[in-house]
A and B are shown apart, each in its own frame.
Chain A
Amino acid sequence: GQQLNQSPQSMFIQEGEDVSMNCTSSSIFNTWLWYKQDPGEGPVLLIALYKAGELTSNGRLTAQFGITRKDSFLNISASIPSDVGIYFCAGILTGGGNKLTFGTGTQLKVEL
């Protein structure tokens, strides 16, 4: 099946630092999504990207849809303790309806 390679697998950073994570694929996606999962909860949508080259911000979060449509990155600026969690990228293939293909997740830990 389709595979999204997400990196890094985990990050341990200091409060206030900026964070960057990305996803790449050999397949072309027409939608890229970034989710965050807190412990004991389901994934919550952070940012949705629908066009190649699109750059979208949501507060301290910024994400971009790669020009080749095969990759996306998520940046978090000035991290705070509540940013802790697992971040997942997800993509929708052309003709895939709403079926999501997820990355393996990036575990983010923030040190005070």
Chain B
Amino acid sequence: EAGVTQFPSHSVIEKGQTVTLRCDPISGHDNLYWYRRVMGKEIKFLLHFVKESKQDESGMPNNRFLAERTGGTYSTLKVQPAELEDSGVYFCASSYGQKGKSPLHFGNGTRLTVT
């Protein structure tokens, strides 16, 4: 079974530019999550999709961040325009069930550096 795949693995952009991150969850997983770890700090929740619907987007920092999951398969997270504080590692995770006992499978993350 293929794991959660994220692309790109690294991205270096200048402040003000746009970046789009992609996540392919494990096939059949309805739940898809985005998390972010800023240098040295905890991994923080951004949002949760159930199929194509946003279940919880309470962790999205501001309106420069836009997440989509058209068709309920892969998801994209766009940052526009990027700011310096957006630098960090963005993780995607997916799970099968709707309750807490369905483990999250994480991708390897996209390391975003905004200069």
* A→B interface (CB under 8 Å): 4, 6, 30-31, 35, 40-45, 48, 50, 88, 90, 92, 96-105
Contact = CB atoms under 8 A, between A and B. Distances in A.
Contact of B100 (A40, A43, A96, A101): A96
Contact of B48 (A44, A97, A105): A97
B67 to A, nearest CB: 15
B45 interface: yes
Contacts of A43: 43, 91, 106
B104 A4 contact: no
A97 B42 contact: no
B95 interface: yes
A102 B44 contact: yes
B103 A45 contact: yes
A13 to B, nearest CB: 21
B103 A42 contact: no
Nearest to A105: B42
Given A42-B91, A102-B44, A104-B42, A31 B104 contact: no
Contacts of A100: 35, 43, 45, 104
A4 B42 contact: yes
Interface in B28-68: 31, 33, 35, 40-45, 48, 55-56
A44 B106 CA distance: 7
A98 B100 CA distance: 5
B72 to A, nearest CB: 17
A41 B108 contact: yes
Interface in B74-91: 91
